[in-house]
Amino acid sequence: MKSITIKGSKRESVGKVATKALRNAGKVPCVLYGGESPLHFSADELAFKNLVYTPNAYTAVIELEGGETLNAVLQDIQFHPVTDKILHIDFFQLFDDKAVTMNIPVRLEGNSPGVRNGGRLLFRKRKLSVKALPNLLPDEIKVDISTLKIGQKVAVESIKSDDYTIMHPDNITVVQVKAARNAIVDDEEEEEGEEGAPAEGGEAPAAEASAES
């Protein structure tokens, strides 16, 4: 998985006064968990732009003054309720031998024949919670919809991988094509429907597992 480098400084004081001074200076107070003890540091708010304001998933390389470098994943973030400025970020440290859970974006590939025939493409899960060792985390999960006809769907069970575990039930719908009033159903699709092909998928519950955001 691709990473974003965050250059920061360890915090000597973590009190309210020191925290307010950091924010006034355009910095974000952060905490890194997962090690022997929590590590408090701060970094310029602009340093988080490509990590936070993006649909993509990235790990973080935290470079601290003195040459210390730590690999981490963003775990939680707090925004100001009015200005939307970043108030605080929690990170979780990555280790090569410990699996981590992240929300990974889903990318659709191909053109659905069901959509070409007038069906509606419903993209139910734009991100999936995935658990894997850090070096096996995917940048994205590709879903091929080039054979997806009206009434068909792609569920979690059909996109599993040996490299990672998708933390959702197998029957959760990722993407489906539903019939529209003006949809054209070809002979082959009618045959499948008559012989009991998979019925039109209903709306899937958003069963998000806990993730590091």
CATH of the domain at 82: 2.40.240.10
| 42, 29 contact by CB (below 8 A) | yes
| 46 and 107 co-located in one domain | no
Q: Is the pLDDT of residue 205 over 50?
A: no
| 87 and 9 co-located in one domain | yes
Cα 196 from chain centroid (whole Å): 35
| 58 and 22 co-located in one domain | yes
Q: Which tokens go with 199?
A: 């019925």
| 117 and 186 co-located in one domain | yes
How many independent structural domains does the chain possess? 2
pLDDT of residue 186: 57
DSSP bridge pairs for 155: 173
Q: Is the pLDDT of residue 207 over 80?
A: no
> Does residue 39 lie in a domain region?
yes
Please tell me the distance from the alpha carbon of residue 31 to that of residue 22, in angstroms, as a whole number: 14
| 109 and 170 co-located in one domain | yes
Lowest mean pLDDT: which of 28-32, 52-56, 106-110, 190-194?
A: 190-194
| 122 and 175 co-located in one domain | yes
> Does residue 10 lie in a domain region?
yes
Confidence class for position 181, pLDDT limits 50, 70, 90: confident
Please tell me the distance from the alpha carbon of residue 181 to that of residue 184, in angstroms, as a whole number: 9
> Does residue 206 lie in a domain region?
no
Mean pLDDT of 151-167: 97
| 88 and 152 co-located in one domain | no
DSSP three-state, residue 79: strand
What residues make up the domain containing 9? 3-94
| 41, 9 contact by CB (below 8 A) | yes
Domain boundary among 44, 69, 94: 94
pLDDT in tens, 95-131: 999 999 999 999 999 999 999 999 999 999 999 999 9
| 123 and 187 co-located in one domain | yes
| 168 and 86 co-located in one domain | no
CATH number for the domain that contains residue 166: 2.170.120.20
> Does residue 205 lie in a domain region?
no
> Does residue 47 lie in a domain region?
yes
> Does residue 184 lie in a domain region?
yes
Please tell me the distance from the alpha carbon of residue 100 to that of residue 140, in angstroms, as a whole number: 15
Q: What's this model's pTM, rounded to 2 decimal places?
A: 0.78
Domain boundary among 64, 94, 124: 94
| 119 and 187 co-located in one domain | yes
Where does residue 181 rank: exposed (0-12), middle (13-18), buried (19+ CB within 10 A)? Answer: exposed
| 109 and 80 co-located in one domain | no
Using alpha carbons, list the distances in angstroms from residue 75 to 48, 115, 148, 156, 188.
Answer: 13, 37, 35, 24, 47
Considering only residues 158 and 211, tell me which one the structure prediction assigns the higher pLDDT: 158
Confidence class for position 66, pLDDT limits 50, 70, 90: confident
| 25 and 46 co-located in one domain | yes
Please tell me the distance from the alpha carbon of residue 76 to that of residue 106, in angstroms, as a whole number: 21
> Does residue 188 lie in a domain region?
yes
Q: Which tokens go with 93?
A: 């440290």
pLDDT in tens, 134-145: 999 999 999 999
> Does residue 121 lie in a domain region?
yes
Confidence class for position 155, pLDDT limits 50, 70, 90: very high
Instruction: Say what percent of the chain tops pLDDT 90.
Output: 79
Q: Which residue has the tokens 């400084």?
A: 9
